[in-house]
Structure 1
């Protein structure tokens, strides 16, 4: 009971120390509010308000139908250009797409010829250029077919492909972006908070005070782990309910409590990792540089951006021992697909194993560091 009391009191000390740090408190608030909101809404992955210009040299009924087919929200209202304005509009970045409808276009279409429409694309805007190219072709072909036949072409296919989009019927990018940002922030902030807590004590000289107290390195480390993990866990729960569900309106399919339970196991691993990284550095700038080298692979290769099955087998084998891989899997299964514990228990088990191993490894390093200071 005395050891538990020491761990509890030391953890309370860590919380008070964190609450007195305005920079860290602002970082927590920013990451789980503004950062989550902007990740979901500020960078749409689908075509949205793409600037487009059209040169209509035909001035026919068909060319007018094509011009009228481009409208918000996928495109901005088209700007009617002269043919001499194409290069300048693309060079200045004013337009992503410029369509040039040639003279006698309608006449050639009615004559059964195959006239060409020139589509100029600013490929430096890669995401819009890729999706907009195919989308513009579909729009133009659809308008031409409707003009010729009086209705849209409806050829009977040999095989009827019935698409059923599950979990995100409207393919809303905000649903994915907001939740993945929270998942990434859990890892990033837990490592940063625990590492900063240890470095802050070293810089302020309070670590020496702990060494003369009747507490063990295990108690000191456990206090930092549970206190910083609690802060991240509370921030995650509030962000899910206030920002994701409330402000953005993303429906969460599964149990938030089950997700938070998985996050707790993940935090056990990442907070231990943060302490280990802090024992390797002497200052916050050094810790920040080292953390970047660790966090980038953990987040990029965890399967949150690209499915792990698409990665090289060597990367898959290495990332199997990273806690972020299993945390992303269970988070997506619970929050996106509404999975229960019977589905995600392997990920829970792996997080327990990896968390225990990282804690033991970090504790050994922490004891060594303290003994050198003593």
Structure 2
């Protein structure tokens, strides 16, 4: 093995990537617009939900209920007639439609139990679930305050002092932006290295490499370090410019330590990309393989759902995946400010998994080259 060969072949990969506008566009999108969208458009957040109110009572209590819905959770309610309610919901104009019946205030003051109808567009599943609970609490609170003639806090036998660490405002954009960054690091590491190998095969340049005095180890290592360098630089810029700058997400720990962990993860992820590229015969096949591998990795790594809520068998199985340890490492450093003394087990696990994946990918790559020679 010659280090000069690895260096020159890696530079060749960087030049090839620089001429690939599609891949460059994917890199820019993954570390800019994708992160911004994930941070600002989380589907589970109730934000600016549309609500219409059919006020058949026209009383101070019904007006009080209508005034209780305001941004940022709801758009100011639209007062409509009963005949408009179904038509507006069929057209998708309203997510919620609240129907306050006639004599509602009179029945409340008389001690009866009047019924308010809430129609929900359940096709907007995430907003429908969260919004229904919000609306129920809002209506119950306004009715209770009106019936009691004053608004007072009920005395509780125990006072709960809430201290939200690492995200005091419970801002979901802090979580969404960082996790999207982590997921896109894995995505691009696999796609870029796999596409680089398939591009060599489709363009016929792999035969040129076989005629040169270079070994399969040198060819594969060059692709790995070149693509890992691109992803690391893009990740560092995105973390600084997009996450910390544009989105104003505070980073508690060391960015340098996180990038060091990213390099360990890229060692494993790029090796996985080479392995998948040796299995696939074309770019469409490679894309399908990436979907089959990447989606379970991201969903079961702990980035979307806490590992504690998963079955024991899944948790044990996913310890063999590099994403699991990278998510643990990244969250510990970026969210909780952990140092190397805390995350060294994840560094060690990524090194071992990366070595195993590299060995498997190299064996597969040598076998593929031998069949082509």
Structure 2 counterparts to residues 250-269 of structure 1, below 5 A: 250-269=249-268
* 1:31-52 deviations in Å (ceiling 9; x for gaps): 1111111111133532111110
| 2:111 equivalent to 1:147 | no
| 2:207 equivalent to 1:208 | yes
Q: Identify the residue that residue 53 of structure 2 maps to in structure 1.
A: 54
Structure 2 counterparts to residues 184-199 of structure 1, below 5 A: 184-199=183-198
Structure 2 counterparts to residues 65-144 of structure 1, below 5 A: 65-144=64-143
8 Å Cα contact 2:329/2:343 also seen in 1: yes
Q: Identify the residue that residue 179 of structure 1 maps to in structure 2.
A: 178
8 Å Cα contact 2:43/2:126 also seen in 1: no
Distance, in Å, in 1 between the alignment partners of 2:306 and 2:171 is 18
Instruction: Mark the runs of 5 or more structure 2 residues left unpaired by the alignment.
Output: none
* 1:91-136 deviations in Å (ceiling 9; x for gaps): 2221111111112222222222222211111111111111111111
* 1:208-250 deviations in Å (ceiling 9; x for gaps): 1211222211111111110000000000001111111111111
Q: Identify the residue that residue 298 of structure 1 maps to in structure 2.
A: 297
Cα RMSD (Å): 1.3
Structure 1 window deviating more from structure 2 (263-272 vs 85-94): it is 85-94
Instruction: Mark the runs of 5 or more structure 1 residues left unpaired by the alignment.
Output: none
8 Å Cα contact 1:145/1:153 also seen in 2: no
Distance, in Å, in 2 between the alignment partners of 1:104 and 1:49 is 30
Q: Identify the residue that residue 371 of structure 1 maps to in structure 2.
A: 370
- Aligned to 1:99, the other structure's residue is in SS state strand
Distance, in Å, in 2 between the alignment partners of 1:118 and 1:165 is 36
8 Å Cα contact 1:53/1:79 also seen in 2: yes
Compute the displacement of 1:151 (Å). Answer: 3.7
8 Å Cα contact 1:229/1:267 also seen in 2: yes
Compute the displacement of 1:307 (Å). Answer: 0.9
- Aligned to 2:320, the other structure's residue is in SS state coil
Q: Identify the residue that residue 341 of structure 2 maps to in structure 1.
A: 342
Distance, in Å, in 1 between the alignment partners of 2:161 and 2:290 is 47
Compute the displacement of 1:150 (Å). Answer: 4.4
Distance, in Å, in 2 between the alignment partners of 1:338 and 1:45 is 27
- Aligned to 1:55, the other structure's residue is in SS state strand
8 Å Cα contact 1:254/1:339 also seen in 2: yes
Distance, in Å, in 2 between the alignment partners of 1:105 and 1:314 is 54
Q: Identify the residue that residue 12 of structure 1 maps to in structure 2.
A: 11
Q: Identify the residue that residue 243 of structure 1 maps to in structure 2.
A: 242
8 Å Cα contact 1:146/1:152 also seen in 2: yes
Compute the displacement of 1:344 (Å). Answer: 1.2
* 1:24-69 deviations in Å (ceiling 9; x for gaps): 1111111111111111113353211111010111111111111111
Distance, in Å, in 2 between the alignment partners of 1:282 and 1:123 is 43
Q: Identify the residue that residue 229 of structure 1 maps to in structure 2.
A: 228
Q: Identify the residue that residue 353 of structure 1 maps to in structure 2.
A: 352
Distance, in Å, in 2 between the alignment partners of 1:195 and 1:313 is 32
- Aligned to 1:198, the other structure's residue is in SS state helix
Q: Identify the residue that residue 30 of structure 2 maps to in structure 1.
A: 31
Length-normalised TM-score, structure 2: 0.97
Structure 1 window deviating more from structure 2 (208-217 vs 147-156): it is 147-156
- Aligned to 1:186, the other structure's residue is in SS state helix
8 Å Cα contact 1:60/1:106 also seen in 2: yes
- Aligned to 2:47, the other structure's residue is in SS state coil
Q: Identify the residue that residue 313 of structure 1 maps to in structure 2.
A: 312
Distance, in Å, in 1 between the alignment partners of 2:103 and 2:215 is 87
Q: Identify the residue that residue 63 of structure 1 maps to in structure 2.
A: 62
